[in-house]
Amino acid sequence: MHNRAPYHTLYSTKQYIADLLMYVVNWPAQSPNLNPIENLWRIMKLRISKRRHRITSEAAMEEVLREEWARLQPSDWVKCIASMNKRCRECIARKGDSTHY
């Protein structure tokens, strides 16, 4: 997914993707309510905040991030993807305005 962020629209990025023969889904800019990964970031932030006392350096932060990413379960991913139908319907109903997601 590309959301028109500057690094997604660079010629070098587009060329790299074309060279790999990848298909890109263009996504509206500033649309976190339609991006399932945002729910995973929320889960990560909540888990990391519970461990913030352990984060005393950049290396410690990286370690905690890696540990929490590894703790994500397939069910966490499934929940995020399964909500897409509801997200899209709500986004359409709100004519693109923010949703509660």
Dist CA 92 CA 24 (whole Å): 22
Q: Given pLDDT bands bounded at 50, 70 and 90, which one contains residue 17? A: confident
- The full set of domain ranges for the chain reads 1-30, 31-101
CA-closest candidate to residue 35, choices 3, 66, 8: 3
pLDDT digits (tens, 9 = 90+) for 54-84: 899 999 999 999 999 999 999 988 988 888 8
C-alpha of 69 from chain center: 13
The rounded distance, in Å, linking the Cα atoms of 28 and 15 is 21
Tell me the average pLDDT across 34-51: 88
What residue type is 83 in one-letter code?
S
**Of 30-34, 36-40, 45-49, 88-92, which one has max mean pLDDT?**
45-49
Q: What is the DSSP letter of 22?
A: -
Which whole number is the average pLDDT over 3-24?
Answer: 78
